[in-house]
Structure 1
Amino acid sequence: MAAAAPAPRRRTPRWTECPLAEVRRYLEPGPVVLVGSAWKGRADLMAMGWHTVMEFTPSLLGCVISRANHSHGLVRRSRECTINIPEAHWVDAVVGVGNCSGAEVDKFERFGFTAEPAREVGAPLVGECFVQIECRVVDTRLVNRYDFFVLEAVRARVDRSVRRPQTLHYRGGGEFMLSGPHIGRRALFAPGML
């Protein structure tokens, strides 16, 4: 059995109140993704940071797509989308995608992304992203109230040539955090908990 790591030294906190609207800045650990959607010949791309893993098998993901976004209607009508993870060097293009509406501009063309056909859904994949996940909407009960979609991943692929990618993590207020160094603790996990 491996020796226990020494406990981190406790620091003296300097507490200050946090505005409740900023709580998300500390809880959003997932990478910023690009959501591909399409309906009746209209394709769109949106930047999203509000998503979560909900289940392993079947692979369920939850995400918020605001009804203020053009993509909301496309995903709602088609009941499918793609989730694509860009590397951090795409940050300016990702911000650009988030700053305009797909109802007015072809975001793939404007920001230099390649729309690739998916195999299981009609929504486009983003060719420049190192992870591409094809999803179907499997539960819409929370869409009307919270704009929360439950998706099932029906196909996924990863570019294995991208080793230890650096991803973007939005913290609000126009600030991103980048994924950091990798540390391994596989030997400390109980069987079945990986």
Structure 2
Amino acid sequence: MKEIPVSQAYRLLEPGPIVLVATSYKGRPNVMTLGFHMMIQHVPPLIDCIIGPWDHSYQALRATGECVIATPTLDLAETVVDIGNCSGDTVDTFQRFGLKPRSASEVKAQLIGDCLANIECRVADASLVDTYNLFILEAKRIWIDAARNERRTMHHCGGGSFTVDGGTLDFGDRMTKWRHLP
């Protein structure tokens, strides 16, 4: 075995797909790319996200307490990377990348019509933001584009490398202990 730096632990454990986070602050919409997030609870559905003060979206999320987490698919790979390489403080990300904003029901941030799924969220707990840049969000509404053909998502492996989802394994019949969960 070869030892690697502990700073690369995220490359081995990153649990979910790369997502886009949409915010709106002072009437200005923004989108950022995010890789540090995970589900932390089923009911109510809670999601943690690491968004630091170096990200333009940080101020919007702190001020408004709401956002949309959108799941892009493989056809948006280059756009997702390019969004991650710019900042909403100098770029109108919706306009620059030709994203299709859609009105949300519970939050002012826009849904991203180009994505497979959109989750409207409100900050449920900000007590760890100052220490760890960790926002705990509660999912309020979820929208899925059921007609979308491309469904493969991307997972960041570090250094510009991504893993792409492929097939699905269905072990539902073996999950006897967890059948009660939705």
Q: TM-score, normalised by structure 2?
A: 0.95
Paired residues in the alignment total 180
1:140-170 CA distance string (max 9 Å, x none): 0000011100000010011222367100111
Shift of 1:112: 1.6
Q: What per-residue deviation string (whole Å, max 9, x for no partner) do you get for residues 158-188 of structure 1? A: 1222367100111110111101211111111
Q: Secondary structure at the match of 1:105?
A: coil
Residue in 2 that maps onto 1:169: 155
Structure 1 segment 13-32 matched on structure 2, within 5 A = 15-32=1-18
- Following TM superposition, the consecutive aligned residue runs of length 4 or more in structure 1 with deviations greater than 3 angstroms are 191-194
Gaps of 5+ in 1: 1-14
Tell me which residue corresponds to 1:188.
Answer: 174
User: How much identity, in percent, do the aligned residues show?
Assistant: 39
Cα distance in structure 2, aligned partners of 1:188 and 1:69: 42
1:66 counterpart SS class: coil
Distance 2:41 2:167 in 1: 26
Of the three residues 128, 142, 151, the one matched with 2:137 is 151
Which structure has the bigger radius of gyration? 1
User: What's the C-alpha RMSD, in Å, of the aligned pairs?
Assistant: 1.2
Partner of 1:71 in structure 2?
57
TM-score by length of 1: 0.89
Unaligned runs of 5+ in 2: none
Does the 8 Å CA contact 2:16/2:35 hold for their aligned counterparts? Answer: yes
Provide the secondary structure at the position in 1 that maps to 2:148.
coil
